[in-house]
Amino acid sequence: MGFEPTTVSLMAFNFVSAVGIVFANKYVFHVYSYNFACFVTALHFVVTTLGGRVCLALNMYQVKTLNHMDVLPITASFCCFVVFNNLSLQHNSVGFYQLMKVLTTPVVVVLQVRRARQQRYRQSLDAWFESATRMRAAQDEHCGAAGL
């Protein structure tokens, strides 16, 4: 049982574009001293909407009707997530930004365990710990043991 080439190529495209966006944003913030992270976020939302419309026109997905009030909390959370990520990227290094993004997983797991009394997240924490360890090792290799 293998992976479909289309799935693998779309996953690779998603990864490359996500990393490219992070570095492009940091470049604009740092090199041009551009201090309008919220505008950059709005621009990302516009481009994402246009991309979604193109995918819809190409029949890559079908529209599903939802009650707006049902999806409002997750929509607001996503918007805040993107805004705060760009603000973090504007004021911090890419390494710190990546570390904070990786820390999202254990925070979500802890919140789920505490709030919903869910106890089946050992695999998520194990995967996060491995990712964080590898990221730290890569940072040490790239920046030296001092993490500069």
Residue 148 belongs to a domain? no
H or E segment and range at residue 132: helix 122-143
Contacts of 38 (CB under 8 A, 6+ apart): 83, 86, 87
Number of folded domains in the chain?
A: 1
Determine the structural domain holding residue 104 and report its residue range: 5-143
In a domain, 122, yes or no: yes
**Is 58 a member of any domain?**
yes
Lowest-confidence pick of 7-16, 26-35, 117-126, 132-141: 117-126
DSSP state of 59: T
> Is the pTM here over 0.75, yes or no?
no
Among the residues of 32-93, which ranges form H helices? 37-57, 68-91
* Domain-located, residue 132: yes
In terms of average pLDDT, the best of 6-15, 56-65, 119-128 is 56-65
